[in-house]
Structure 1
Amino acid sequence: MSGPVMNNITNKVKMILVAGLLTLMAACNPAPDGSVSANGEPPLAGAKIGGSFTLTNQDGGKTSDTQFKGKYRIMYFGYSYCPDVCPVDLANIMLGLKQAEKENPALSDKIQPIFISVDPGRDTPAVLKQYVAAFHPRLIGLTGTPEEIAAVAKKYLIIYDVRKDEGSSEYLVDHSRQAYLFGPEGEPLALLPFDGTPRQVADDINRWVR
């Protein structure tokens, strides 16, 4: 999504997003630089973000959060038809993950990257299969019914809104941008710097993954 697209997010969505972020900030109590809390815990420690889900993966099967128990999870919400933001964010995140894995091969067995679509109408398993393969060989793409995606997005504080011009069959999906790092029990740890460099992403991964 380009800048003008993000500027067209409805006032209602903006208000919900701001409220969610304020709740998140109050819960995690980050340090002034946002990198670590005052007591040395991850910045999102204790935040009420995340939860259970069962969605459809890129192979057409079912994938549940319980399947990732014991693994760290990198989670990003977006959609394959996103013209610019999503592919750039995913490229940065996955390049950072690859860099961290190159420096520490053991991370390959500890981290599961996950992409969840906020556009279930177009992001079928077949579409996601081709899309996620372009970023990382282990990136899982998940989709589902509109109701399933809405439920998961709410748990992960992701706001999205379909923007469709009158008389057109084409549409864009405005959505909040978050790259979460969750721990082995599904606990929120940190926000990865998706808009930074792959080096910065790798550094944050190395910082929190044990």
Structure 2
Amino acid sequence: MTRVYAILAALTVVTMVGAMSWLGFSGGEGDDQFAQCRGGAVAGGAGAIGGPFTLVSETGETVTEEDVIDKPALIYFGYTFCPDVCPIDNARNVAAVEMLEERGEDVKPVFITVDPERDTVDVMREFTDAFHPDLLGLTGSEEQVKTATTAYRAFSSKQDSDDPDYYLVDHSTFTYLTLPEHGFVEFFRRDDTAEAMADRVQCYLDAS
């Protein structure tokens, strides 16, 4: 019986080590200043997400990732013609930002389109202004948007439609937390509430 327990214990350790490697853990908590804040892990580590991009803001200005991530930011990829998911997610993200603002924290909400064909500068500005004056809308050429989505591992796929002006776009729905000195540090899923997001973002801000 003792031998059986020993084998099971060894298998448990091996399984845990394998899972940690698959999820992208690089070592113990001592190697990660944000270990106490993380709600998940990314294969390849946090450094595998994010990178350079150039887009066009809702005011018509060309911006880079350095301009966008000049303060803590919550970045979401979607499109303005999205019938339900994007409005709900953007409203949730803005609510989290407002909660943090009440705590004295300045976090920028960002909305990057995956449908630049329809989401022009004017369309983006009208959409973001309806949610929050600080919600930054970003568009650009097909190539520019592709570079940004690839950098953040965001998925998008235009659905076939008989009407070229009316179509849906399948897309991933993660929200990415970025910090100026660190780049991408965390992601949030659709089932994360605004309160939960605000608390986890606060943890990162306190630890940075």
Alignment TM-score > 0.5, same fold: yes
Structure ranking higher on relative contact order (CA contacts 8 Å, 6+ apart): 1
Separation of aligned partners in 2, 1:91 and 1:189:
22
d(CA) in 2 for partners of 1:25, 1:90:
31
**Shift of residue 185, structure 1, vs aligned partner:** 2.4
Superposition misfits of 4+ residues, deviation over 6 angstroms:
none
Distance 1:152 1:38, change over 3 A: closer
Q: Could you tell me how far 1:84 is from its partner in structure 2?
A: 0.3
Structure 1 equivalent of residue 56 of structure 2: 56
AA of the residue aligned to 1:195: D
May I ask how many residue pairs the two structures share in their alignment? Answer: 179
**Letter aligned with residue 203 of structure 1:** D
Q: C-alpha separation between the residues in 2 aligned to 1:67 and 1:37?
A: 25
Q: Residues 39 and 130 of structure 1: is their aligned pair in 2 closer, same or farther, counting only changes over 3 Å? A: closer
Q: How far apart are the structure 2 equivalents of 1:30 and 1:186? A: 18
Give 5+ residue unaligned stretches, structure 1: 1-23
Amino acid at match of 2:23: A
Residue-by-residue CA offset, 1:130-150 (whole Å, 9 max, x unaligned): 111122211110000011111
Would the alpha carbon gap of residues 176 and 61 (structure 1) be closer, same or farther in structure 2, given more than 3 Å must change? Answer: same
Amino acid at match of 2:171: H
| Cα distance between partner residues in 2 of 1:101 and 1:135 | 15
Conserved? CA contact 2:34–2:204, under 8 Å:
no
The one-letter code of the counterpart of 2:98 is: K
Shift of residue 30 of structure 1?
11
5 Å-filtered alignment, 1:8-47, equals 26-28=23-25, 39-40=35-36, 42=38, 43=40, 46-47=46-47
C-alpha deviation, 1:47, in angstroms: 3.6
Deviation at 1:27, TM superposition (A): 2.6
Q: Which residue of 2 aligns with 1:189?
A: 185
Distance 1:160 1:197 in 2: 23
TM-score for the superposition, normalised by structure 1:
0.75
Which residue of 96, 120, 130 corresponds with 1:124? 120
TM-score by length of 2: 0.76
Aligned Cα RMSD in Å?
2.8
**Contact 1:30–1:38 (CA<8 Å) still a contact in 2?**
no
Query: Taking every aligned residue pair, what percent have the same amino acid on both sides?
Result: 31
Question: For 1:175 and 1:140, how far apart are their aligned partners in 2?
Answer: 19
Q: 1:127 offset after TM fit, Å? A: 0.5
Structure 2 gaps of 5+ residues are 1-20
Alpha-carbon contact 2:37-2:200 (below 8 Å) kept: no
Select the structure of larger CA radius of gyration.
2
